[in-house]
């Protein structure tokens, strides 16, 4: 098998990270370069992590760099022919990497590839089987397969899709060198969509395969709202459009987003007594009108 570097980012989730490392140890032993980036967690668990995988490459950041920044730290050290980014709350079965690499060899145009993702708390339910194309005027699309009962309907299927899934995405090192790293301006959410756009710009495709899978411990009921989630989802939806579409599209989207979508969100939050979330929508909208699209990320504050 070609050499593979696996990169995962931990932020105050040592138990989930330990379970991921155990799954890698069961399936692949010492065959991989495994890089774990700790995003300034409150407690350093390097010793516990290395008890599971002694040759683990552990990097501890002094500040929380977000999803993109943490992964970029690992990517800069990775030596594998393939770079596989996985969330620390996932588990990988034996044969997963072999199936993914075989897909790249069968389809040389693939730039980024994600497998079928199943919910870990109910392995019969699908989380991800691709994305529909994005409507760039509204920045809306649909996650294919989400909440479907897994009856094998995607087994063996591989196809081009709108976007990869940040919980598990693999690419060739040589393509990554051309496309570039993730944009750290996003911090949380939309960074993998933006990364897909970079790979499309170098003539590569974004693909899904049902020939293998991972388990993701994100709960099926993950709709839990929080100020930080509301802020970055709202902010980055507009940032993504500003970065990846032309002037006219950006103007039309901005009108829709500023005068229809965001006011609707604010009204709903206020009606439901969630004033803290309503404030984050306004804050996110203001950020986009006061910062350049390529500005350095500003950290979240309540």
- Cβ burial of 197 (10 Å; 0-12, 13-18, 19+) is middle
DSSP code string of 52-64: H-TT-EEEEESS-
Which tens digits make up the pLDDT trace of 116-149? Answer: 999 999 999 999 999 999 999 999 999 999 999 9
Is residue 221's pLDDT more than 50? no
The pTM (predicted TM-score) of the whole model is: 0.91
Is residue 219's pLDDT more than 60? no
Mean pLDDT value of segment 261-283? 97
101-136 burial: b if 16+ Cβ within 10 Å, else e: bebbeeeeebbbbbbbbbbbeeeebbbbbbbeebeb
Average pLDDT, the chain: 93
Which tens digits make up the pLDDT trace of 41-69? Answer: 999 999 999 999 999 999 999 999 999 99
Instruction: Return the pLDDT at 1.
Output: 66
Strands 168-172 and 205-216: unpaired
């Amino acid at each position: 098998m070609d050499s593979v570097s696996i990169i995962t980012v931990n932020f105050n989730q040592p138990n989930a990270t330990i379970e991921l490392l155990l799954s890698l140890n069961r399936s692949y032993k010492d065959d991989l370069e495994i890089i774990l980036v700790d995003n300034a967690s409150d407690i350093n668990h390097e010793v516990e992590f290395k008890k599971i995988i002694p040759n683990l490459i552990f990097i501890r950041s002094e500040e929380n760099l977000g999803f993109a920044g943490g992964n970029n730290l690992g990517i800069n050290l990775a030596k594998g022919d393939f770079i596989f980014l996985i969330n620390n709350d996932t588990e990988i079965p034996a044969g997963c990497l072999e199936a993914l690499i075989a897909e790249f060899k069968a389809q040389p145009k693939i730039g980024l590839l994600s497998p079928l993702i199943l919910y870990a708390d109910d392995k019969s339910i699908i989380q991800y089987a691709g994305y529909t194309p994005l409507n760039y005027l509204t920045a809306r699309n649909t996650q294919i397969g989400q909440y479907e009962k897994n009856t094998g309907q995607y087994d063996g299927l591989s196809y081009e899709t709108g976007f990869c899934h940040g919980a598990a995405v693999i690419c060739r090192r040589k393509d990554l060198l051309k496309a570039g790293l993730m944009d750290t301006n996003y911090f949380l959410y939309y960074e993998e969509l933006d990364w897909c756009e970079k790979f499309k710009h170098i003539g590569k495709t974004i693909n899904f395969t049902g020939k293998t899978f991972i388990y993701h411990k994100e709960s099926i009921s993950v709709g839990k709202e929080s100020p930080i989630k509301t802020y970055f989802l709202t902010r980055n939806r507009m940032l993504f459009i500003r970065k990846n579409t032309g002037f006219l599209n950006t103007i039309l989207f901005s009108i829709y987003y500023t005068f229809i979508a965001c006011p609707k969100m604010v009204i709903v939050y206020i009606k439901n007594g969630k004033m803290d979330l309503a404030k984050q929508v306004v804050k996110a909208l203001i950020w986009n009108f006061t910062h350049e699209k390529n500005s350095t990320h500003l950290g979240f504050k309540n």
